[in-house]
């Protein structure tokens, strides 16, 4: 998808104009309406279109207009045109015409700020995402025809300047979505690591540790998860130093279980295919680093990805095994399907031990219980530090990624005590399953300010209602953390 900023709408196939509630035309829409003796008003009056967000109406362009059609795009209340509303309008505009045969869609944003114009271009890029690389027999009429979105703006230079960092974030979200969407026969730990290695050409430092190196570091807990797999486990370490030299970095850690069968504690067959996106946390961290590097963020940041495949096999770990973590703590593995916390235990310890970060935030599709607690729209935030938590909770609503703070009560900590090891990888029964998982992680943070985001509900979406998040891989967390960093930790 090509995004262009232009001063005057020209010969686009479709010109989209925003309409606010109760049929209030805006910008080029109002002038066209006047010049045509009320053609647009008349078209709206003949039907139910009133400008509600999500509604659109396409009409033939009145005489004297270069574009072939005019798309009226509902933008909701005029007083509430925030970033999210602009993004939604641009997304809906794209979907309304993407299969129409039109190749160029112009969006009239000349009456908006250049920043809002940039938002429209950004939204169009996210809306147009498709994971279609394995479709070899697509019907031509199902392939989007729109290849260029032109944003009409009053200040091309300012819009382009505002678009540059946003476009870097869009690149990063799409990079993250591609990782999440990829099936596990293609995206196994080494392949994931290889794709992350491409960040080096952009200016990051990327190290990939294999099993021998992790063995030396004592990361037996992460390694135990991958023992049943033919695929070698990997740890990817991404560093971006855009801040002051010597400043402690901020750190992000991702669960990258490229496929989670449950291991010997095998999952039921029904729905197991979903566990190809059990690396959504690692994809979010990879995407975040892509965004920070891409827009040359003024911050020192590290991303650490624990990449494994959880398979049942003659070499797989067994329920009841005791493994020693890098921290020195021993863990009784009661359920091999509670593998994410094992991967993160060593990845978190490694991160704080090596980098002495200001804080660590981990992202993980950690528990099915998170979906039971919050439903499919919210990710849960667990933190031992109110300032770190606040950074996440403030950024969420700004980027449309919903987060809700969860407790990590000390009273529940004894639920993960084991009679034969320092800790066990399950609570007592199912009560508070996401909380006991978070309490487990907390034992491997060494007291560093930390937050854990359980993205099991949000990493993947079925039947999306959000025009800029197509069904499937969301790339959830990239925008959230990028925004948090931009708002609180740069400069």
Encoding tokens for residue 219? 């990361």
Active-site choice (276, 341, 424, 479)? 341
Are the C-beta atoms of 400 and 474 separated by less than 8 Å?
A: no
Q: CB nearer to Mn ion: give 67 or 366.
A: 366
How many other CB atoms are found less than 10 A from the CB of residue 7? 11
Closest CA to 50 of 29, 74, 78, 67: 74
Please report how close the Cβ of residue 473 comes to ligand BES at its closest, in angstroms: 13
340 binds Zn ion (CB under 5 A): yes
Residues 239-268 that bind Zn ion (CB under 5 A): 257, 260
The answer to whether residue 341 is catalytic is yes
367 binds ligand BES (CB under 6 A): yes
Question: Of 141-149, 335-343, 407-415, 438-446, which part binds Mn ion (CB under 5 A)?
Answer: 335-343
278 binds ligand BES (CB under 6 A): yes
Please report how close the Cβ of residue 371 comes to ligand BES at its closest, in angstroms: 6
401 binds Mn ion (CB under 5 A): no
Residue with tokens 């396409």, as numbered in its chain = 58
456 binds, among Mn ion, ligand BES, Zn ion, none (CB under 5 to 8 A by kind): ligand BES
Please report how close the Cβ of residue 424 comes to Mn ion at its closest, in angstroms: 15
Please report how close the Cβ of residue 424 comes to ligand BES at its closest, in angstroms: 10
260 binds Mn ion (CB under 5 A): yes
Q: CB nearer to Zn ion: give 20 or 255.
A: 255
Angle at 167 between CA 164 and CA 169, to 5 degrees: 115
367 binds, among ligand BES, Mn ion, Zn ion, none (CB under 5 to 8 A by kind): ligand BES
Please report how close the Cβ of residue 342 comes to Zn ion at its closest, in angstroms: 10
211 binds ligand BES (CB under 6 A): no
Question: Of 16-24, 100-108, 366-374, 416-424, which part binds ligand BES (CB under 6 A)?
Answer: 366-374
Nearest position to ligand BES, beta carbon? 368
325 binds, among Zn ion, Mn ion, ligand BES, none (CB under 5 to 8 A by kind): none
Please report how close the Cβ of residue 267 comes to Mn ion at its closest, in angstroms: 7
**What would the 3-class secondary structure string for the chain be?**
CEEEEECCCCCCCEEEEEEECCCEECHHHHHHHHHCCCHHHHHHHCCCCCCCCCCEEEEECCCCCCCCEEEEEECCCHHHCCHHHHHHHHHHHHHHHCCCCCCEEEEECCCCCHHHHHHHHHHHHHHCCCCCCCCCCCCHHHCCCCCEEEEECCCHHHHHHHHHHHHHHHHHHHHHHHHHHCCCCCCCHHHHHHHHHCHHHHCCEEEEECHHHHHHHCCHHHHHHHCCCCCCCEEEEEEEECCCCCCCCEEEEEEEEEEECCCCCCCCCCCHHHHHHCCHHHHHHHHHHHHHHHCCCCCEEEEEEEEEEECCCCCCCCCCEEEECCCCCEEEECCCCCCHHHHHHHHHHHHHHHHCCCCEEEEECCCHHHHHHHCCCCEEEEECCHHHHHHHHHHHHHHCCCEEECCCCHHHHHHHCCCCCCEECCCCCCCCHHHHHHHHHHCCCCCCCEEEEECCCCCEECCCCCCCCCCEECCCCHHHHHHHHHHHCCC
**Residue 350 half-sphere exposure, CB side, CA atoms within 13 Å?**
31
Beta bridge partners of 321: 333
Please report how close the Cβ of residue 259 comes to ligand BES at its closest, in angstroms: 10
426 binds ligand BES (CB under 6 A): yes
Question: Of 296-304, 365-373, 397-405, 469-477, which part binds ligand BES (CB under 6 A)?
Answer: 365-373
Binding mask 317-346 for ligand BES (x = CB under 6 A): ------------------x-xxxx------
Please report how close the Cβ of residue 337 comes to Mn ion at its closest, in angstroms: 4
Q: CB nearer to Zn ion: give 396 or 477.
A: 477
418 binds ligand BES (CB under 6 A): no
Distance CA 43, CA 121 (A): 27
Active-site choice (267, 318, 398, 402)? 267
Q: CB nearer to ligand BES: give 70 or 416.
A: 416
* Site size with Mn ion, rule: CB under 5 A: 3
332 binds, among Mn ion, ligand BES, Zn ion, none (CB under 5 to 8 A by kind): none
Question: Of 139-147, 244-252, 257-265, 418-426, which part binds Mn ion (CB under 5 A)?
Answer: 257-265
454 binds Mn ion (CB under 5 A): no
Sign of torsion over alpha carbons 261, 262, 263, 266: negative
The answer to whether residue 324 is catalytic is no
426 binds, among Zn ion, Mn ion, ligand BES, none (CB under 5 to 8 A by kind): ligand BES
Q: Which residues of the chain form contacts with Mn ion (CB under 5 A)?
A: 260, 337, 339
Q: Which residues of the chain form contacts with ligand BES (CB under 6 A)?
A: 260, 278, 335, 337-340, 365, 367-369, 426, 433, 456
Q: Active-site residue numbers?
A: 267, 341
């Amino acid at each position: 998808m090509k995004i262009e900023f232009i001063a005057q709408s020209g010969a686009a196939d479709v010109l989209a104009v925003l309409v606010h509630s109760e049929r209030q035309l805006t910008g080029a829409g109002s002038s066209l309406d006047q010049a045509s003796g009320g053609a647009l008003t008349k078209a709206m009056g003949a039907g139910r279109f009133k400008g509600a967000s999500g509604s659109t109406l396409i009409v033939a362009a009145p005489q004297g207009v270069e574009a072939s059609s005019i798309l009226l795009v509902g933008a909701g209340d005029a007083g509430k045109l925030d970033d999210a509303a602009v993004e939604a309008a641009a997304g809906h505009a794209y979907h309304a015409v993407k299969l129409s045969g039109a190749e160029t869609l112009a969006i009239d944003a000349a009456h908006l700020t250049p920043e809002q114009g940039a938002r429209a271009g950004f939204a169009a890029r996210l809306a147009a995402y498709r994971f279609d690389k394995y479709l070899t027999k697509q019907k031509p009429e199902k392939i989007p025809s729109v290849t260029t979105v032109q944003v009409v703006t009053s200040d091309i230079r300012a819009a382009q300047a505002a678009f540059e960092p946003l476009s870097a974030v869009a690149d990063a979200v799409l990079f993250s979505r591609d990782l999440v969407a990829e099936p596990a026969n293609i995206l196994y730990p080494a392949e994931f690591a290889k794709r992350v290695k491409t960040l080096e050409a952009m200016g990051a430092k990327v190290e990939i540790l294999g099993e021998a190196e992790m063995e030396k570091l004592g990361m037996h807990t992460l390694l135990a998860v991958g023992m049943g797999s033919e695929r070698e486990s990997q740890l990817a370490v991404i560093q971006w130093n855009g801040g002051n030299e010597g400043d402690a970095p901020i750190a992000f850690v991702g669960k990258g279980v490229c496929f989670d069968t449950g291991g010997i504690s095998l999952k039921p067959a029904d729905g197991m295919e979903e566990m190809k996106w059990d690396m959504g946390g690692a994809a979010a961290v990879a995407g975040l680093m892509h965004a920070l590097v891409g827009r040359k963020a003024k911050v020192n940041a590290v991303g650490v990805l624990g990449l494994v495949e959880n398979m049942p096999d003659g070499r797989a770990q067994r329920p009841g095994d005791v493994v020693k973590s890098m921290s020195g703590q021993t863990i009784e593995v009661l359920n091999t399907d509670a593998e994410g916390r094992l991967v993160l235990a060593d990845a978190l310890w490694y991160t704080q031990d090596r980098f002495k970060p200001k804080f660590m935030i981990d992202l993980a599709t950690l528990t099915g219980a998170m979906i039971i607690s919050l439903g499919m729209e919210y990710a849960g935030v667990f933190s031992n530090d109110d300032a770190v938590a606040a950074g996440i909770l403030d950024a969420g609503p700004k980027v449309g990624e919903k987060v809700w703070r969860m407790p990590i009560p000390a009273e529940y900590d004894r639920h993960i005590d084991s009679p034969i090891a320092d800790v066990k990888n399950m609570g007592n029964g199912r009560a508070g399953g996401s909380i006991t998982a978070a309490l487990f992680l907390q034992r491997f943070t060494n007291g560093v300010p930390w937050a854990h985001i359980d993205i099991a509900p949000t990493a993947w979406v079925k039947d999306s209602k959000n025009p800029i998040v197509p069904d499937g891989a969301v790339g959830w967390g990239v925008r959230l953390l990028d925004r948090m960093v931009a708002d609180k930790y740069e400069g």
